[in-house]
Amino acid sequence: MSPEAPARTRGRLGASIGKALTTKKHLTIALDAMGGDTGPEVVIPGAALCAERHPEIRFLLVGDRSRIAPLVERYPKLKQRAEILHTEVFVTMDAKPSQALRQGRGKSSMWLAIDAVRTGAADAAVSAGNTGALMAMARFVLKTLPGISRPAIAAMWPTMRSESVVLDVGATIGADASQLVEFAVMGEAMARALMGVEKPTVGLLNVGVEEIKGQEQVKEAGRILRDSKLPIEYAGFVEGDDIGKGTVDVVVTEGFTGNIALKASEGTAKQLSTYLRLCLQRTLLSRVGAFLAQGAFKALKDRMDPRKHNGGVFVGLNGVVVKSHGGTDALGFATAIDMALEIVRNDLVSKIKTDVELMTGLLKQPESPVEASL
């Protein structure tokens, strides 16, 4: 039986917009305009959507000027607030991370977008490019926060209760107990910052909720979270179906399992959508019913639309980098930019840094003789 989460009202948009911490008049987002399956043909319209929504945004568009400039001309508001940083070098979707680092160092559109964050020319970088290359470059350019052994990719996951933070969803394969604890600390900070939950509940993804089940590193991470003095509301192990239920606010796992869970959920959403459409078209009566319930079906479609939940956050770095799905459209890419804005406005990097420093101090404290004997 899975642990029940307390009922609460939450929502990252209301929390983040209402509690924006950044005082800068304008925010600059660096976009890897050449990343993704189609490059500027999706990135530029996505940026234009955000330019309409957020008058305070400025854009640094990094890539081939000959492909970017004609697209920018179609969007007057974007043109007024965008600067193009020209480079003809870009990272292909099938490039190995080591190859991307060697060939794109200091000159690829992905590298230059990330480096703009390092130099302060941009507040965040967004790319739909090669995930492995983006992580490798982000680690090399921005470095990890003190106390973090490896970054993770965190996603905002739609649930029956609202949303949950799930990490890692694909940064690296495998994680030991201490790294899972780091993920828990970073995910908890992200939930507080973006969802407005004062004491987020944290669960470790496992094959069962019983303490005897699972891999040793998962069981050891659970022991640390349960027995340490970390100020985390640890709820124990959770199973795969608990993610969609919203049983906990933060679900922690390693990148291999997390990425499979993410892709499986996206595929299931498309499968159900296809089934529903076919069933509603079978008979005249079903088509009439579909017409009468079209408002409800539209709301369901919007809720399940993966484009409206696009954007994986690289947590654990000295800067903000957001990964968009490579095959998304303009709406999906705009959602990834929105995610970057939320991260910057809520000063997530500083929150994680503070929490990690606290974690490091608490976990290094030696046990008292009384505690050790218990």
Give the model's pLDDT for residue 110. 96
Measured distance CA(165)–CA(154) in Å, rounded = 6
Could you tell me the mean pLDDT of each successive run of 10 residues in the chain, 374 residues long? 38 39 71 94 96 92 96 95 95 90 92 96 95 94 92 91 90 90 94 89 92 89 90 92 93 93 85 84 86 81 80 94 93 94 93 88 60 43
The answer to whether the 9-144+316-347 and 149-314 domains have the same CATH topology is: yes
Q: Phi and psi (nearest 5°) for 31?
A: -115, 130
Nearest to 258 by CA among 157, 138, 359: 157
Tokens of 120: 């302060």
Q: What single letter denotes the amino acid at residue 172?
A: T
| Mode of pairing for the β-strands spanning 312-315 and 321-323 | antiparallel
**Separation between Cα atoms, residue 194 and residue 79, nearest integer Å:** 30
pTM for the model stands at 0.84
Using CA atoms, how far apart are residues 124 and 39, in angstroms rounded to an integer? 18
Q: Side chain identity at 267, as an amino acid letter?
A: G
Residue 251's H or E segment, with its range, is strand 250-252
The H-assigned helical ranges of the chain are 12-18, 40-53, 65-72, 76-80, 97-104, 109-119, 131-142, 177-195, 216-227, 240-245, 255-280, 284-292, 294-304, 330-345, 348-364, 369-373
d(CA 91, CA 49): 25
**What is the spatial distance between Cα 246 and Cα 159, in angstroms, rounded to a whole number?**
5
At residue 20, the pLDDT reads 37
Tokens standing for residue 280:
């509603």
- Note the CATH number of domain 9-144+316-347: 3.40.718.10
**Number of other residues whose CB lies within 10 A of the CB of residue 290:** 16
Residue pair 52/77 in contact (Cβ under 8 Å)? The answer is yes
Domain 149-314 has CATH 3.40.718.10: yes
Domain ranges (residues) in the chain: 9-144+316-347, 149-314
Predicted pLDDT of residue 17: 35
Q: For the sheet containing 124-127, what is the strand order? A: 82-86, 57-63, 27-32, 124-127, 321-323, 312-315, 152-158, 163-167, 250-252, 201-205, 233-238
Distance CA 116, CA 124 (A): 8
Distance CA 255, CA 150 (A): 11
Tokens of 311: 């954007």
Both structure tokens of 130? 């090669």
Beta carbons of 232 and 188 less than 8 angstroms apart: yes
Give, to the nearest 10 degrees, the angle between helix 255-280 and helix 294-304: 160
